[in-house]
Structure 1
Amino acid sequence: MNASIQYLNPAEAARRLGVSAKALRLYEQRGLVVPVRTSAGWRAYGPDEMARAGEIAALRALGLSLAQVARALAGDPQGLAPALAAHQSSLEGQVRQLAATLEKVGGLRADLAKGQVPTSAALADLLGSGPSLAFDLPWPWGGERFELNAIRPLTYITGPLGCGKTRLALAIAEALPGAAFLDLERAADGAAAARARRAGDPVLKARIDQALAWLVEDGAQDSDALIALLVGLETEGPTALVVDMVEQGLDEATQEAVIAHLRRRGPGARPLFLMTRSCAILDLAALGPDEAVLFCPANHSPPIQVAPYPGAPGYEALASCLASPEVRARTEGMRATRPDAA
């Protein structure tokens, strides 16, 4: 190592690049970037490695799978056309949203010129900060009012065993007009039905096959559980989806590929609420601006939205209830019970 060149450890490099340390390890595992080693054997990233990792992060942000990133870095354009088309579609969606907001601003200014003062609700609507979801919490809560502002494309629902997160998820699916709830039957008895439905709908099959190809390139394992999940995710109709334990039946590599795929949908995608207790799905270090976390405390206090930063209210409790896929597999099927009253 050249002592005059600045080298960063993985945590510092990830922070500079705006990615997680887990993402850097994945890049290395795939042979996309090779960090240098210190005399003590620690990984380090110099200017060349940072430039390479920056290119990888940019290509990933465009929606390329890791296999497509490898081909792009090697000069092979395969996969760039659909990725650029998807990115263009996402940008066009943002332009439409901005145009609609500009039209609202123009209308409010015109009203103001006529002496009509905008309501606080109309002003809040400009930023999308008004309540987008509101209902009274079911048992085990005491009927407290729950409100969620500006629903994001990805919202995670988590908490310890017995905290009520499933009841919260069901209540959200009932309160959102046109929403659907994907329960755990999709990965068991529903797997055969999911494959039959995929085979009987050419349009749905095309979408699932495309998503599956990207997922497999990213390291996912083709399985009944994955197919059943994709059928639910790719089916048109519901305005929002609430998914019970999205990691059910999926190994770690598949979980990481699935969440990377869902993040590629862009800010205009229909909302997804993902119940999870897996840190491969809910990586607190990798959350972006289009993602939110709802945490259900063990003491049945009302659910709260937790910011993904150490020190934020609820962060430590949230982090403590997430586990690796290996640990989640050991505890699969465990349920908290409420003893009968004496």
Structure 2
Amino acid sequence: MNAPTEYLNPTEAARKLGVSVKALRIYEQRGLIEPTRTEAGWRTYGPKAMDRASEIVALRAMGLSLAQIANALGQEDVDLDALLAAHQSLLEGQMRQIAEKAERVRQRRSHIARRQPEETADETRTSPTPAPPAVVFELPWPWGGERFELLDIHPLNYVIGPLGSGKTRLAHRLAETLPGGVFIGLDRLADGAAKTKTQLAKDPGLSARVEEALTELAANGAERSDALLSLLAVLERDCEEIPVIDLIEQGLHRPSQRALIAYLRGRRANTKPLFIITRSSAILDLDRVGVHESIILCPANHSPPTPVTAYPGAPGYEAVATCLATPEIRARTEGVIAIRTNPQ
């Protein structure tokens, strides 16, 4: 025996579809659906009407207008895929515009955070003048001499990209160009950080600052290690250097990485800038990037490095996200990455 066909009244149909009864009435007025009528004249929605209404609701959730939906569903020769492709292109363009606006807001907030209140007040009374680039240079291979401009140096700057993207070459050029720039490579870990330990033995002041920092990080879950020691010896130097650190997570387990990035965020706003290469999602948590931080992406196709806003839908956001891995995965590929990055 066949099961009876289910017909729903407007309230039941609207509840099942997740829309209002008024929305169903509008769909009907536009000729998009045609409910069945009872002998008493009441509207009911059978399987055919509900399937059609579900399709309309799905297309509306994608942002299509009722006019577009009427055109798509009302003509057999309309290419729905082409219509959706055009709509997707429109949405992506809007996301790029929003991302660009969000980046301008972020930069503005960053400038305000670093300026005196009276300077900010003066700015509001005059037309803003674009700031000159903080650093400009010709990019090395594989970019072939293209011009690179870094418009704003933040206290904490991430350099990221897939293997072979040139991020370490970019880091070397940044260290060469930045005033006081110094590249800190993976050789910091050689022989159990022997070079660092010798340096600390000769500099009691630095040794004391490093020990204080180690104690702070250990209290937040970090593990004392040669890798962490070598980083803190760089970070606690009493000089005007701008460190550019290769694979800052190398040799650190997850709790240490989390403690380290919290430590960096806590001190970066009031001290020298720092550039770090990373591919760890514990170091670069895209949900926690703040106004004092920036991301520079080296794309896989060797397009010029570009700033990326940590905002879903922003240009380059997905590419950055795909470069990141958990500390456990990064630890398993540590040797491969060291071999591939050192020659850069």
Please indicate, yes or no, whether the TM-score normalized by the shorter chain is above 0.5: yes
Q: 1:240: which partner in 2?
A: 242
Does the CA contact (< 8 Å) of 1:190 and 1:228 recur in 2? no
Paired amino acid for 2:130:
A
CA shift, 1:279, in A, is 0.4
Under a length normalisation based on structure 2, what TM-score does the superposition of the two structures give? 0.62
Q: For 2:220, which of 218, 224, 231 is the aligned residue?
A: 218
Q: Distance in 1 between matches of 2:257 and 2:229?
A: 13
Paired amino acid for 2:143:
W
Alignment of 1:68-83 (within 5 A): none
Paired amino acid for 1:269:
T
Question: Identity across aligned pairs (percent)?
Answer: 52
Q: 2:77: which partner in 1?
A: none
Q: 1:316: which partner in 2?
A: 318
Q: Distance in 2 between matches of 1:235 and 1:100?
A: 33
More helix by share: 2
Under a length normalisation based on structure 1, what TM-score does the superposition of the two structures give? 0.62
Alignment of 1:1-342 (within 5 A): 97-98=115-116, 101=119, 105=122, 123-125=129-131, 130-189=132-191, 191-335=193-337
**Cα–Cα, structure 1 residues 273 and 96, in superposed 2: closer, same or farther, change >3 Å?**
closer
Does the CA contact (< 8 Å) of 1:221 and 1:254 recur in 2? yes
Does the CA contact (< 8 Å) of 2:186 and 2:247 recur in 1? yes
Q: 1:77: which partner in 2?
A: none
Q: Deviations over 1:100-119 (max 9, x none)?
A: 8369x59xx9xx9xxxxx9x
- Aligned residue for 2:318, secondary structure, equals helix
Paired amino acid for 1:155:
N
Q: 1:20: which partner in 2?
A: none
Query: Which of 1 and 2 has greater Rg?
Result: 2
Q: Distance in 1 between matches of 2:114 and 2:136?
A: 27
- Aligned residue for 1:156, secondary structure, equals strand
Q: 1:83: which partner in 2?
A: none
CA RMSD of aligned residues (A): 2.5
Q: Distance in 2 between matches of 1:95 and 1:209?
A: 30
**Cα–Cα, structure 1 residues 182 and 238, in superposed 2: closer, same or farther, change >3 Å?**
farther
- Aligned residue for 1:310, secondary structure, equals coil
**Cα–Cα, structure 1 residues 298 and 198, in superposed 2: closer, same or farther, change >3 Å?**
same
Q: Deviations over 1:9-45 (max 9, x none)?
A: xxxxxxxxxxxxxxxxxxxxxxxxxxxxxxxxxxxxx
Paired amino acid for 2:119:
T
Does the CA contact (< 8 Å) of 1:138 and 1:167 recur in 2? yes
